[in-house]
């Protein structure tokens, strides 16, 4: 076991899906994996391992924000040798042509700062998705007929942001959506030579003000999970 993950050696699969919400991890494991077993309950951050079409898969909650994700992603890589890490989460749309419940595949993830910033110092590092995963996810979404957008997103340090000027610049520069974890995940994957992707469902819209209730955020994102799984094993 590691500091924050109570799984034993061999309990974590090489492929890990990472929702922020531990209850979404439980829901996804129960609905998409065969014979899921709970392998982590430390601090209530649930993790499950089962199989999908015969392939071992772990679904481990990451918590909210880049510092929390950094803890779990580091331990999954360092202590359990995870090779493919796919964030499955919600996001807020920032472009008018994107609708609530659309899926976004994050090609890049901009940020004001992330936990790796101290290491990179003055470098404005540009974290990005693994191209093989991105391409496979796009193909899977296209075959399903899912309304999908591919491009840059913004990983924010704050949920209650009071910088309307920053929001305006993100929209102006074509950022598709905002969330809170992907930039650090992509940076860690690059550092440790692992594959990473963020597959996101639009849960609210910063332009129109539309949003989904909490229960739908937790349980109505099935297409996102299936796209992530199909991409991982393409």
> How many independent structural domains does the chain possess?
1
User: Could you tell me if residue 77 is inside a domain?
Assistant: yes
pLDDT reported for residue 122: 80
Q: How far apart are CA 162 and CA 160, in angstroms?
A: 7
User: Could you tell me if residue 156 is inside a domain?
Assistant: yes
The whole-number average pLDDT for the span 131-150 is 97
Closest CA to 40 of 8, 88, 87, 68: 8
pLDDT reported for residue 128: 97
The whole-number average pLDDT for the span 119-128 is 85
pLDDT in tens, 24-48: 999 999 999 999 999 999 999 999 9
The annotation status of 180 as a binding-site residue, yes or no, is yes
The annotation status of 11 as a binding-site residue, yes or no, is no
pLDDT reported for residue 203: 93
Q: What is the CATH number of the domain that holds 190?
A: 3.40.50.1580
User: Could you tell me if residue 226 is inside a domain?
Assistant: yes
User: Could you tell me if residue 4 is inside a domain?
Assistant: no
- Domain with 73, as residue range(s), is 15-232
Band the pLDDT of 162: cuts 50, 70, 90. confident
Q: How far apart are CA 146 and CA 102, in angstroms?
A: 7
Q: How far apart are CA 100 and CA 175, in angstroms?
A: 16
The annotation status of 88 as a binding-site residue, yes or no, is yes
The whole-number average pLDDT for the span 158-181 is 91
User: Could you tell me if residue 174 is inside a domain?
Assistant: yes
Query: Is pLDDT at 172 greater than 90 in this prediction?
Result: yes
- Give the active site residues: 204
pLDDT reported for residue 217: 65
Q: How far apart are CA 26 and CA 24, in angstroms?
A: 5
pLDDT in tens, 34-86: 999 999 999 999 999 999 999 999 999 999 999 999 999 999 999 999 999 99
Band the pLDDT of 161: cuts 50, 70, 90. confident
Percent over 90 (pLDDT), the chain: 82
- Rounded to 5°, the CA angle 178-180-181 comes to 120
The annotation status of 110 as a binding-site residue, yes or no, is no
By three-state DSSP, how is residue 105 classified?
strand
- Rounded to 5°, the CA angle 192-195-197 comes to 125
The annotation status of 20 as a binding-site residue, yes or no, is yes
Going by the DSSP 8-state scheme, the letter that residue 207 receives in this structure is T
User: Could you tell me if residue 6 is inside a domain?
Assistant: no
Query: Is pLDDT at 174 greater than 80 in this prediction?
Result: yes
């Amino acid at each position: 076991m590691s500091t924050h993950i109570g799984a034993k050696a061999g309990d974590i699969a090489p492929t890990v899906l990472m929702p922020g919400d531990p209850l979404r991890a439980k829901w996804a494991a129960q609905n998409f994996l065969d014979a899921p077993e709970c392998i982590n309950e430390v601090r209530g951050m649930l993790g499950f391992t089962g199989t999908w079409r015969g392939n071992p898969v772990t679904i481990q909650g990451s918590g909210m924000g880049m510092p929390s994700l950094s803890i779990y992603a580091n331990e999954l890589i360092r202590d359990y040798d995870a090779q493919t890490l796919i964030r499955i989460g919600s996001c807020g749309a920032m472009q008018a042509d994107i609708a609530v419940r659309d899926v976004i595949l994050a090609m890049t993830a901009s940020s004001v700062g992330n936990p790796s910033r101290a290491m990179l110092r003055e470098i404005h590092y540009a974290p990005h998705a693994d191209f093989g995963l991105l391409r496979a996810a796009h193909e899977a979404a296209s075959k399903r007929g899912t309304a999908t957008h591919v491009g840059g997103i913004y990983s924010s340090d704050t949920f209650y942001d009071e910088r309307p000027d920053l929001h305006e610049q993100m929209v102006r520069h074509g950022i598709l959506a905002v969330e809170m974890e992907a930039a650090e995940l992509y940076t860690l994957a690059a550092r440790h030579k692992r594959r990473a992707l963020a597959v996101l469902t639009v849960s609210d819209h910063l332009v129109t003000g539309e949003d989904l209730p909490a229960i739908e955020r937790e349980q109505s994102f099935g297409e996102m999970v299936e796209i992530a799984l199909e991409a991982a094993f393409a």
